[in-house]
Amino acid sequence: MKHTVSELVLPNGMRGLMVHIPDAQVMTFELNFRAGEYLVEENKWEVPHLMEHILLGANTKYPRARDFQAEIEKNGAYSNASTSVYDITYEAECADFEWERVLELLILSITEPLFLKEEFTAEFGNVREELTARANNHFRHLSLALRQSYGFLAKTDQERLRLMKNVKLKDIKAHYEATHGSANMRFVIGGNITPTRRQAIERHFGDIALPKGPGRIDLPDELPQRLVKPLYIHNSTVKNIYFYVDTFMQRRMTEPEQDALNLLNTILTETLHSKILGTARERGLVYGMSSGVGQAKLNSNWWFGAQVSPKNAAALFEIMVSELEKIFAGDLDKSDIEAAQQYSLGRFQRGAQTVSGTTNGYSGRYFFDEEVDDYYQVPKRIKSVTKEAIVDIARELFTENLRGFGTLGNCGEEYAVGLQSHIEQLWASR
């Protein structure tokens, strides 16, 4: 969608982006605080998540969570919140005609929560149900367990369920007071933000009833460690093998490097005619496979993952190794790059047809490091990726020998070790 972006910086330390989309029929709000699990003691890991559940509940104007939610939703508006290791984000989307009413309600919820004992008890049960459901996601379980093994701040849902009993209501109140200061808040708002509306937003946030606090809380310094042996999680009920392969480098990628690696993911795994997934599907080896790019404060990683039957796993790994070795050797046709560029351009356009889709293109990067991506340069960036850039970043990510391999299933540790041996050469040959 056609739009313009401007940044608003307020004296109380709050700052954010205004994404003006003329004639938009909805408004979206994302309010972000550095308030995730990395800021609490490990045995209190669930404090931020529980706080997020309770905060969009009873407040000084609405004595019950149901009353507050009914007020927000009465004209079809949507509101939610999410917690990660690093952040808590509160969000809402509403019709254009009621944007200010919904924004005022969202601000009310984060500035005047009551943190009632009865709502703590209710949400404690709801969070337990949520984590129990998540614990059935084998990819998620393996991914979180691997992050722990690499030395990142993480807990599996199984661990989180065991730790919940340590959280008390006073812990939630203390975490709220420590993290919900105006200078720790960042926001992205999208919609038809006229000059008059911009002034109203600036007034609402400038007068927000939050202490300023010490400022934007720093992200943690995390450095991955190499796994010599595979991480094996035994689950006798799982017949297939769930696996992830990770490789790291101890720096953040540049924007052109990310563009090159994202394009390479398209070439290798993102379509049914891709080099790895397409070949494996053609041979009847695997239903689906993914790869992706990870960025943290001090490192970057490239991962591959899939669910595959034990009898097909070795053949799938041989395809993966073969195709990556071709990339390292520079064996990549111009036509493959151009096809991936066309696919990526189309996907980019499809992802930007709504207000939320457009604003989401800014919020992730802005909340992470306060950088504002130039949305209109994305097509040019995609088109400018070269074969040399793809080969260089692929090679570098296997140079430092910082890597790991994990499996979940009932194949046994010996089988997992044997499976890892199929991919060892990817690092040895760099």
Domain 4-206: CATH superfamily is: Metalloenzyme, LuxS/M16 peptidase-like (3.30.830.10)
pLDDT-derived band at 121 (thresholds 50, 70, 90) equals very high
Please say if the pLDDT value at position 422 is more than 90.
Answer: yes
Domain 231-428, what fold? Cytochrome Bc1 Complex; Chain A, domain 1 (3.30.830)
Band the pLDDT of 350: cuts 50, 70, 90.
Answer: confident
Sorted by where each begins, the domain ranges of the chain are 4-206, 231-428
97 burial type by CB count under 10 A (0-12 exposed, 13-18 middle, 19+ buried)? exposed
How does residue 353 score in pLDDT terms, banded at 50, 70 and 90?
Answer: confident
- Other Cβ atoms less than 10 A from the Cβ of 62: the count is 20
Average pLDDT over residues 126-145: 97
3-state secondary structure 363-391: HHHHHHHCCCCCHHHHHHHHHHCCHHHHH
pLDDT tier at 236 (50, 70, 90 boundaries)?
very high
**Average pLDDT in the chain:** 96
Find the range with the poorest average confidence among 119-133, 276-290, 369-383: 369-383
Cα gap 49→35, rounded to integer Å: 10
Cα gap 37→84, rounded to integer Å: 7
Burial class (CB in 10 A: 0-12, 13-18, 19+), 200: middle
Give dist(CA 384, CA 308) in Å, integer.
35
- Do the domains at 4-206 and 231-428 have one common CATH topology? yes
Kindly give the pairing relationship between strand 241-249 and strand 231-234.
unpaired
Q: What is the dihedral of CA 406, 409, 414, 418, to 10 degrees?
A: -60
> What residues are paired with 187 via a beta bridge?
16, 31
Is pLDDT at 277 greater than 80 in this prediction? yes
> pLDDT of 391-416, one tens digit each?
999 999 999 999 999 999 999 999 99
Residue 79: helix, strand or coil by DSSP? strand
Residue % of the chain over a pLDDT of 70: 100
